[in-house]
Structure 1
Amino acid sequence: MQISRLFQIIYILLKKKSITARELSEHFEVSVRTIYRDIDALCQAGIPIYSSQGKGGGISLVDKFIFDKSLFSEVEQDKILLALQSLSAVGYDDINDVLSKLSNLFQKSDINWIEVDFSNWGSERKQKEIFNLIKESILKQKVINFSYFSADGMKSNRYVEPFKLLFKDKAWYLQGYCLERTAFRTFKITRMNDINITDESCIHQYLQDLMDDSPSEKFSELIHLKLKISSEGAYRVYDDFDEENITIDKDGSYSIDISMPEGEWIYNYLLSFGTMLEIIEPIDVRNEIINRLGNMINKYTSKT
């Protein structure tokens, strides 16, 4: 988020003769110390900013300063625009305005070559609302309250000190300190409902340390799988597995040799392939899938 704030500070200073650090901190909803760090970063980048004390004082740009696009190489300009486009994907405020101004400054007319959209089909509005709520709670360091469904379907009410949003393996997560569990936890966004920002301030200032020490963040044991997927499953094969794990068989099917984290999720994942998949190894996973398929059949046949 800092790169956007830095450019917005420059534009504010270009429009205003002088502004105080306090006014900037209130505008961006960050601390005065953060604003001073931003000013130091701009000065190190060669932007001539100075501050004056007393009545009428504040932070200013040197008279007749022009924001020169030559401060950045062509590659750096493209990276800046791409970073801003990525931020717009999560509904970050004022990004489109900054993106438009910088694209004009850099004389880039082809900024629409990529669109980043992390939302599920049909859920853009709801997900944007969730992102905005979580973003606000993180920036203001306020405890967030929500109802949550665990992987086994159990519903609970949570109060969490939010740390950051994480996008990993096709899904969004919130990482934070759960006050009910008194431990660092990771919550899947799609399982969160009735989100509210409380008036309670976060008291744990070093959530990164808590995350690093949290047992729940340790990697699961890996299980080695040998799978066979029919030719009809080609679209899943190349979506889900790296080429180095795939062997094309003479009959057009695919042999997959891969290690994946253990857990209940693995059985639901394997079953999602339906009749396209055969589990070759390990035998205990193969037998467990057979048992689950048997239970599914019993549910239907017992009612006929």
Structure 2
Amino acid sequence: MRASRLLSVLLLLQNRGRMTAEELAGELEVSVRTVYRDIEALSAAGVPVYGDRGRAGGYQLVAGYRTRLTGLTEEEAQSLSLAGLPVAAAELGLGTVLAAAQLKLHAALPDELRDRAGRVAQRFFLDVPGWHRGVESLDQLAPVARAVWEQRRLRVRYRRWDHSAVERELEPLGLVLKAGSWYLVARCDGGERTYRVSRIDALEEGETFARPDGFDLAAYWRDWSAGFERRMYPRTALVRLSPLGRDLVPFFLGAVGARALRDSGTEPDEDGWSLVELPVEQGAPALGQLLPFGPELEVLEPADLRERVAGAVARMGALYG
């Protein structure tokens, strides 16, 4: 552990130049006293590191010195696939590993490419969660991720959508981060299933298992997502949308609504209104999808949904006088 930290100190000084003990301690999440001991150990090992006193002081390497000790560990190499998702890496327990891997990779780059990588990091940032929800903080995520890496069976207690609890024996195949929520793809009872990690209340690790040949996590997720959308939106509603209503579709109905707008929308009439077939949920939830549009949307079909919307609007009108 200390050897890895000493290498991190060396690479930080190599990449960034002069750094204070406080800055090094913040990067490595250790005490300033530990940094002092690490600097002494590097100096005793022959690394030409020296310190300057005063307000502008700090530690730095002798000009021209560079190390090539930048080999990545297995965990660091795995963590690089999450380089654009620091929050996700932290949730999986790979935050410090990712930082070390990026530091080693940065040190190994030629000067021109290293400067270019720095400019990219300063100009582009990936923020995955939506505006109204963050990445879930989950106690069970790290052990689930470990079971995925090590191909270990899991016995879990899982809360279903109706809050009932069930016991499941799972063979974890992969994890997916979707709009701030983590999902576990696992084999159960001979078939692949999807489980929301936030609903795993408890788990126990078991023996290892053989991963199915040819399993493609990305392909499975695409197919499952398409099926989930079909199950979630079993009906379509023919609606009239004002120009503002069209602009509101992606905000209220997300990607599903935006796709319907693109695929089924007609040319606007002389008043700017157009016809669109929108996917809707079954029963009362459909009202929650359509009422936020207010007077910018009119339901034409099916008749029962039009009546439900009209009734809800009438009750709202009576409520407000």
TM-score by length of 1: 0.51
1:100-135 Cα distance to aligned partner (Å, 9 max, x none): 4434523222213333333465644615x5543332
- Which residue of 69, 82, 85 corresponds with 2:83? 85
Partner of 2:175: 165
Partner of 1:6: none
SS in structure 2 at match of 1:126: coil
Alpha carbons of 1:87 and 1:122: their partners in 2 closer, same or farther (altered >3 Å)?
A: closer
Contact between 1:183 and 1:210, CA under 8 Å: does it hold in 2?
no
Contact between 1:87 and 1:95, CA under 8 Å: does it hold in 2?
no
CA distance in 2, matches of 1:189, 1:206: 22
Percent identity of paired positions between Structure 1 and Structure 2: 15
Between structure 1 and structure 2, the one with the greater Rg is: 2
Letter in 2 for 1:126: S
- Which residue of 95, 99, 114 corresponds with 2:98? 95
Matched, 1:206 2:206: no
CA distance in 1, matches of 2:300, 2:214: 41
Length, aligned pairs only: 216
**Mapping of residues 249-264 of structure 1, within 5 Å:** 250-251=270-271, 255-258=275-278, 260=279, 264=282
Partner of 2:194: 186
1:237-260 Cα distance to aligned partner (Å, 9 max, x none): 1343146244555545554235x4
CA distance in 1, matches of 2:262, 2:250: 11
CA distance in 2, matches of 1:290, 1:156: 39
CA distance in 1, matches of 2:157, 2:126: 27
Partner of 1:244: 262
Partner of 1:268: 285
Quote the offset at 1:139 in angstroms. 0.7
Letter in 2 for 1:244: R
**Mapping of residues 88-127 of structure 1, within 5 Å:** 88-91=86-89, 93=94, 94-103=97-106, 105=109, 106-107=113-114, 108-110=117-119, 111-119=121-129, 123-124=134-135, 126-127=137-138
- Which residue of 139, 159, 166 corresponds with 1:148? 159
Partner of 2:22: none
Alpha carbons of 1:85 and 1:199: their partners in 2 closer, same or farther (altered >3 Å)?
A: closer
1:27-78 Cα distance to aligned partner (Å, 9 max, x none): 649xxxxx9xx9xxxxxxxxxxxxxxxxxxxxxxxxxxxxxxxxxxxxxxxx
Partner of 1:132: 142
CA distance in 1, matches of 2:287, 2:177: 23
* Structure 1 residues not aligned, in runs of 5+: 1-10, 30-34, 39-80
Quote the offset at 1:229 in angstroms. 4.0
Alpha carbons of 1:149 and 1:125: their partners in 2 closer, same or farther (altered >3 Å)?
A: closer
SS in structure 1 at match of 2:277: strand
CA distance in 2, matches of 1:162, 1:267: 35
Alpha carbons of 1:254 and 1:149: their partners in 2 closer, same or farther (altered >3 Å)?
A: farther
SS in structure 2 at match of 1:175: strand
Quote the offset at 1:98 in angstroms. 2.4
Letter in 2 for 1:86: G
Contact between 1:267 and 1:289, CA under 8 Å: does it hold in 2?
no
Contact between 1:141 and 1:161, CA under 8 Å: does it hold in 2?
yes
CA distance in 2, matches of 1:225, 1:199: 46
CA distance in 1, matches of 2:182, 2:152: 20
